[in-house]
Amino acid sequence: MAYKSFKKYIQENYNYVLQDAIQGYINKCYDGLGYHSLNVISLLRQWPDNVQVMTLTCHDDIGPRLTMDVHVCADIVSSGLGTVNYEADRKKRWFTIYLKGMLKDGLQNVEIIDVDEYQGNTYDPSNGLDEYLVPYIKSEQLEDIADDFTELWCDDEAYANGTALQTMLEAQDLICYEADLPAGEIARMYFREDDVSVYDSSQDYFDSTPEEKTIRPGTMLIDRDCFFMSSYGSIADSIAHEMVHWDRHGKFFEILAILDNNEKTLYCNAEPTGSPDGLTGVAKARWWAEWQANSLAPRIILPRRIFNTFFPDKLEEQRSLPHKTEGEVMERALHQLADKFNISVYEAKLRALQLGYKQAEGVCLRVKGSKRPPYSFNPEALDDRQTFILDNKNGARLYREDHKFAELIRTKRFLYTGHVVVINHPLYVKKTSDSSYPQGYELTDFALEHIDLCCLKFSRNYTRDDCAFEYYDQCYLSKDVDAPAFKEARDIDYSINKDVLAEAEGLEGYDDEGERLAGILAVLPSSFWGTFDAHMNRLKSERKLTNEELHFRTGYSERHIRALRKDDENVSRNTVYALCIGMHLHPYLSDDLVKKGAGGYPPTKEGMYARTLIERHYMEPLSYINKKLKARGYKPWGNENEIQDVGTDAIDEWE
């Protein structure tokens, strides 16, 4: 027999237990509860009638044990006095009946623990499980849960040598087979014995044929070709997903098996269906169980302690190699991460986003299947729910509904490239005949390195303020700008785009300046020392800048400055920054010098703040910059004690 819900199962199979519990309670406590309105209380016989289970709250216990808070509504009937049996009084009352039992191959050994009048608002979700025994997990708990799980079942050495998943499977006595599952299904975890068709992993992928096997509980079947979010994930992701089900959802399955005797497995779809707010009962419980497995799986494959040990080194390694932008550094490092842990690059990108690497948003981008070059930006330029990316669907909606946005596009002050909206200026955008750019424009190298200076930001708005939707949409964002299942709306807030809009206005009529800077960049040497020397020679004729004057501005000795113009050995990052400010280099020229001397700005808060200072305050004296740095606890630039430039009092007053 199939039941629609667990409370229906309790209602139909344990109604006699509930009635006995209420009867015992009213026999003991009738005096103070006012179940009837007659004066001679002690002479009336009372009994419960029409007992209805209204809600059910389950709590986990050791092993297969569980406890249940069964909230019921019942009529308390009082018989009349005298020899004739008649109903003298009937009042509706609410009770909470506390039960315990064993949940293994069905619900067994159910006993009454206690009974009390129902007290509303007494439920604490941090200690309880809902009706279907799906644990309550908050998004902020996910990293800690994954850490505890991986530290229990696997050591860090297994991650280092690439055997972590196999180690965890063996430690939990789990078996994994590949199989051909129904369309859209990524995997199954079996909690009952069953006969299935699976592939022999020792055979060649293309030549192998499935064979029949009787499998035991603790066996997972992984589809050969279908992964989470329509191939966003990997086999590793599917295996970790099923581990979560085995670890967290065994009792949930036992409930499902009670409701339907044919249930033997938890099956997992590639994409989430519906929404939790639109679902009820078992369907809603399944949805949240899937969200938990999907959310924990990438954290199990790549725990934060492993990520934070491996990834920063790969960033530095890639930064030491030739590159155009920090985005390119990030993308190459993510590919290394994916190869190391046998996952898709989109899973690696998702972990980077989850662990605070905001610049990962700008890498591994595709528009309608075509790759886009990675971009970088100052992470402080984006709040958690802001993005530079605008998919075509939301772009068309904004163009229809937002007249100001439509004017920016219609007047060609801004151009849409298929994934970002950029200032229409040769410094930032150029025409292309590449057919993968249907709009006919692509970003310049400078724009790719400074996307926050030239592209509009959009607010990511969800129809529900729910971490579940944010997680699934983040997965889509990780893969393709035009993913068909985008659930979020992207709107423009002009207050957060003031700088970019002002930049667009300020660039009108400044094509000559752009050409001048482009001409300077075109003839600069490839080395740091050669570029520094070229700038000093140019500035000597333009502004009479000498080694002595730069000494006053930076505090570095003339001897040191002469050495830096001849040889770039032992140049530090802060030295390069100090020279950029000392020469008052335009940000476009500073960006080039920082790349050559320091490998670019590091994707850290300090690195991004350095870039912000150089871009926005390059005409200020170094003493002013250092005051800003020290206010944030950062090391000052240059030889601070020897700087002899203009003080900062007047500047502070103007600000």
| pLDDT tens string 469-514 | 555 555 655 555 654 444 556 778 787 787 788 777 666 544 556 6
* Predicted pLDDT at 32: 40
* Predicted pLDDT at 346: 86
pLDDT tens track for 103-137: 988 899 999 999 988 876 555 554 456 788 888 88
Counting as low any pLDDT under 50, the low residues of the chain are: 32-33, 35-42, 126-127, 463-465, 483-486, 509-510, 646-655
* Predicted pLDDT at 330: 93
> How would you classify residue 364: left for phi > 0, otherwise alpha for psi between -120 and 50, otherwise beta?
left
For 513-645, list the strands marked E by DSSP: none
* Predicted pLDDT at 646: 45
CA distance 479 to 389: 12
Of residues 6, 93, 103, 94, the one with CA closest to residue 60: 103
What's the Cα-to-Cα distance from 361 to each of 121, 184, 350, rounded to whole Å? Answer: 42, 27, 9
* Predicted pLDDT at 368: 78
CA distance 45 to 392: 73
Q: What is the DSSP letter of 604?
A: S
Q: Does residue 310 contact residue 155 with C-beta atoms inside 8 Å? A: no
Q: Does residue 150 contact residue 172 with C-beta atoms inside 8 Å? A: no
* Predicted pLDDT at 145: 95
Q: Does residue 227 contact residue 234 with C-beta atoms inside 8 Å? A: yes
In 141-153, which positions are buried (b, 16+ CB within 10 angstroms) versus exposed (e)? ebbebbbebbeeb
> How would you classify residue 440: left for phi > 0, otherwise alpha for psi between -120 and 50, otherwise beta?
left
* Predicted pLDDT at 272: 61
